[in-house]
Amino acid sequence: MLKQTTIFILFFVFFIQATYPTQALPTRDSTAESALEQTIRKRRSHRTFTNTALSEEEISRILFAGQGITEDTHGFRTAPSAGATYPLSLYVFTEEGVFLYVPTEHHLKKISSEDSREMLSQAALGQDFIAEAGATFLFSAIPQRTTNRYGSRGMQYIYMECGHAAQNMLLQATDLGLSGVPVGAFTEEALRPLLYHPDEEVPLYIISIGRER
């Protein structure tokens, strides 16, 4: 029985290789990497941070990477959006308060003067590094902006868009010599009171960024 099984497996592997042949790719040369490739290679998730605040310049560049406007005529942004519906909102939590990023003006709207990072940490199942990072960012979405056009399929587009934007921010943080970690584990209802439009917005993703300890 074992012999028959082995023969079958070998035959199956041979059949797959014959049906779907492989093709070698050019050998990777790490010494010839572009700046972008180096940043992609260096990106890692880190959860230990010094309690050092990010500078305004660092926050500015990270926010722009996530949701900045790159084309003025149509308002296209750094991350692709289904039908250019742009359902995402992007917040930054620091010791100075909670701020909402306004891409059209590239400025911050202060919505709270309280340091709410500990509340954010508790909403994320007690993950302490969220409160310790130099800044923690939160993506939310107003789903109707996309689902009004695409129906229930729109939610999938929103999740994809959020992932695109988050990766931009993590790569920008890496390029700045900072460390970051994305967080998807949280209690949605505990986060809603921290949002600008709590009845309309759905929390999606947390990203903590700071200097690695």
For the residues of 138-195, what is the DSSP string, one character each?
EEEE-THHHHHHHTTHHHHHHHHHHHHHHHHHHHHHHHTT-EEEEE----HHHHGGGS
The predicted model scores a pTM of: 0.89
How many CA atoms are closer than 13 Å to the CA of 13, on its beta-carbon side? 6
- Name the β-bridge partners of 139: 90, 205
Q: Looking at the predicted structure, is the pLDDT value of residue 103 above 80?
A: yes
Using one digit for the tens of pLDDT, what is the confidence trace for 30-87?
888 999 999 999 999 999 999 899 999 999 999 999 999 999 999 999 999 999 999 9
For the chain, give the mean pLDDT. Answer: 93
CATH 3.40.50.720 fits 45-210, yes or no: no
Mean pLDDT of 82-101: 98
- Count the helix, strand and coil residues of the chain and give each as a percent rounded to the nearest 5: 45, 25, 35
Q: Looking at the predicted structure, is the pLDDT value of residue 3 above 80?
A: no
Using one digit for the tens of pLDDT, what is the confidence trace for 113-167?
999 999 999 999 999 999 999 999 999 999 999 999 999 999 999 999 999 999 9
* Nearest in space to 208 (alpha carbons), one of 96, 124, 97, 142: 124
What is the structure's pLDDT at 1? Answer: 62
What is the structure's pLDDT at 15? Answer: 66
Alpha-carbon 121 to chain mean position:
17
- Name the β-bridge partners of 15: none
